Each structure stands twice: as C-alpha cells, then as structure tokens.
Amino acid sequence: MAVLVVVIVACLGFCICLALLKWNEIRYNRRKGLPPGTMGWPVLGETTEFLKHGPSFMKKQRAKYGSLFKTHFLGCPTVVSMDPELNRYILMNEGKGLVPGYPQSMLDILGKRNIAAVHGAAHKRIRGSLLSLIGPHVIKDELLPKIGNFMTSFLENWNGKTIDIQETTNEMALLISFKQIVEKAPSSLYEIFKPEFDKLLVGTISLPINMPGTSYHHGFQGRKRIVKMLKQIMEQRRASSIAYDDMLYCLLHSKDSKYNLSDEEIIDQIITILYSGYETVSTTSMMAVKYLHDHPKALEELREEHLEIRKKKKPGEAVHWDDYKSMSFTRAVIFETSRLATVVNGLLRKTTEDMVLNGFTIPKGWKIYVYTREINYDPFLYPEPLTFNPWRWLDKNLESHNYCFIFGGGSRLCPGKELGLLQVSIFLHYFVTSYRWEEVGRNEIHQFPRVEAPKGLHIRISNYHA
C-alpha cells in the first residue's frame, strides 16, 4: 500500500511539473514575433541550468534555436544574442531603445547608482568622475608609485612558502583597491570589511530571493554593513581638516562641479570599484600564474622582458611609466589570459520599448544578454582558440578588432581597464623577477559562472636566481 502511495504521489508531482512548464511556455508564447527558445519554470526560469551548465547550456540552445533565442534567468525574461554582428550593434547603440539591464540582485547589492546601472547624462557624469580618479595621467603620476610600493611589500618573504595563489591574489586585489580608496584606514577596519565584501560578491549573481540562507540575503546583508562602514568614514572625513591622499578624499572634495556626486553615488561607485577590480585583477593574476607555469616558453620570454627592465635600474628602484609602457609581451600575456579565462561572460541590456532585432520582436522591459564569451573562442578570430598563445596579441590590431569585448564595448568600455592592466603587470614584474614556482597537488579550475579553483590553486615558491 505504501509503495502505491509513493508511486501515485510521484506521478502527481511529475504531472504538476509538466503542467507548470507548459503553462509558462504558453504564457510567454502569447506574444507574437518572439525568438524561439524555452522559458523553464515560473519565477525560476532556467536560472539553475544557466548557472550550473552555462557554456554548454548556451551551445545547446544555439544548436536548437539559432544565435538569438529566448529564455528566463535571474528573475527576468531574456533574449540571448550569440551573434557577433548583432552583439556589436547592441553595444554600440545604447540609448536607442536600450539601457543597462543588470540583474536585480546585482542592482540591489552593488547599488542602483553604480556606473554599470545608470545611463544617459548620469552615466556620463559618473564615468567622468571615475576617470578623474583612475585616468591615464592619475595612474602615471599618482597610482603607479603606490602600486609599486604595495607590490614590493606584499610579495616579500615568499621564498620557501607553499601558498594558495587564488586566496593570495584575492587578498592582493581587494587590499590594493581598498588602500587606494581609504589609504589611512586602520588594518582592523579592513579585517571587518573583507568578510562582508565576500558575502556581497557571492550575492551579485543569484536569484533575488531575500530569505535567510540564500546567497542574495547574505549579499544584501553584506552590502548593508559595508554601507554603514563607509558612511561612518565619510562622516569622520567631513569632520576632519586633514587632506588625505586617496580616492575617497577626491570624491568628497571634488572641485569640478560637473563631477560632483551625491553620498549614495559615492558609496555605489566605491563598492563598484572594489567589486570590478577585485574579480578581474585577482582572477587574471591567478590564471596568468597558472598559464605561465604550464607554458615555460611564455614564462621565459616574460621573465626576460622584466629582467631587462631591472638591469637598467639600481637595486630597489621602482618601476616607472616608461618601463610599464615597454612591457609589450606582458600586456599580451594579460590579454591572452583574459581571453581564455573569461571573467565577464556577457553584458546585459534592457529594452525601453518594443524593438525588432534580426526579424524578431523583443518586448519592452525584456533583458537582452549580449553573450560575448564564445567570441573569445572563435577559431576565425583566434586560430587554435583553446591554446594559450600570447604572441598573437603582439599584433596590436587584435586589441581593437570589432569583436574584442574583453573589456566591454562602446560607451561602456571599462573605465578601469588601464588600471587593471597596470596592477597585473606590476604584480607579474615583481613575482617573476623574484621567484620560481611549481604547482602542488591536483588543482581543479572551474570556468563558469566564475573562474575559480574550488579547492584552491597551491604553488611552492623559491627564490629566482638569474
């Protein structure tokens, strides 16, 4: 009897699941002109499949429905574009029925006034403010010396140690950004800040379900505590007559009225700078170490480039701007690492009106996911695309080809691109001229939804003697 009850319940559950799936498909298929595709479950959509099997899920859907298809993930009906030409059109034509369309979880946790979320005049103003903090002249004259000092201190005394380079580059990327924003903050503040930031990071890519135990809830709570800390620091700064040499001081005392930001905008930009710099710099640094370990010829050429710079310097002399600009192979290694270990898989836009793309009608309020990941592995753009070949980037035209979206595109080209390149370059400079390393144990790398080593990436370090 008990077995029969279990069978009946299982059958009923199966029928209900089928009914829910069918109802959701009918609900969205009432609209005419939509691209083909599936919408998955009510509310959840196909979020689980996307986060768990991202690249393979995308390839499977493209094989069934073509390079433009509909789906539903991260809480919103979405059209995915895997067409390079259409992707370029979308990214280059913001404002023509398209605005940023980042997931609700990301808006709630990074802030609704962060540079990635705003558009139009607000975007130009905030972008201008950020470039005044991290533009080329500021990097050259102010940030490069600070970054050089940080790296020499951070990397000292590693000889003989076995470290988790993932954990170490995570620490490096967050700490260097934190110090650029609030340089004189006590170390105790950073120790409180970091665990809250770790919660925030995980919550940005999650379903916006604010229930205890969910990633979104942890992320949102992390943001609330970070906002409270930043507000306290801002109050202390305003009550002080001390002129600090950091980004927060510049944001609070901007003399250029066109770049003045509200407190909400300042907080959201600080969180965004920390978030974007953390993920890109840490992951690229870790994976560069991994790829250079696995490709000795590339490591040899990179090390020769940096040893040549050191030969022209006195012991302990810092790297200068001209030294950085001469690191052509280093730049190629960073671009190739960023291409193979894709940190940003795509960019989201939202329609402000019904619009037609490739003959299909995209309804107002839908998201468009410009999925750029597969372009990085296109054999027509990058011969032998799965091979680590930094030499391909020595052709500078490759950086500027129409479908290179490694650092975004159009008016949304990452304002921190040059700062990120410089930070990874200076890290590699001091790392490869000071140390050798070998991997320890079996290190597994996951490529989606984030590039990460679930159990760490462990290396044994020894001094390098030329």
Give the residue numbers of the binding site for heme.
414
Q: What is the DSSP string of 35-77?
A: PSB---BTTTBTHHHHHHHHHHHHHHHHHHH-SEEEEEETTEE
Cα dihedral: 94, 393, 431, 422 (round 10): -40
Within 394-445, residue ranges assigned H as helices are 417-434
Please report, in range form, the residues annotated as the binding site.
Answer: 414
The C-alpha atoms of residue 328 and residue 322 are separated, in whole angstroms, by: 11
Q: Write the single-letter amino acid at 299.
A: L
Contact 91, 405 (CB under 8 A): yes
Q: Which of 332, 334, 308 is nearest to 319 (CA)?
A: 308
Please give the order of strands across the beta sheet that includes 68-73.
68-73, 76-81, 367-371, 346-351, 98-100
Q: Which two three-digit tokens encode residue 323? A: 């030294």
Q: Write the single-letter amino acid at 453.
A: A
> CB atoms < 10 A from the CB of 377, how many?
14
Q: Which of 154, 436, 161, 406 is nearest to 284 (CA)?
A: 406
393 class by beta-carbon count within 10 Å (0-12 exposed, 13-18 middle, 19+ buried): buried
Q: Which of 183, 147, 458, 411 is nearest to 281 (CA)?
A: 147
The C-alpha atoms of residue 397 and residue 298 are separated, in whole angstroms, by: 21
| Cα-based distances in Å from 344 to 46, 361, 371, 392, 450 | 20, 27, 9, 21, 9
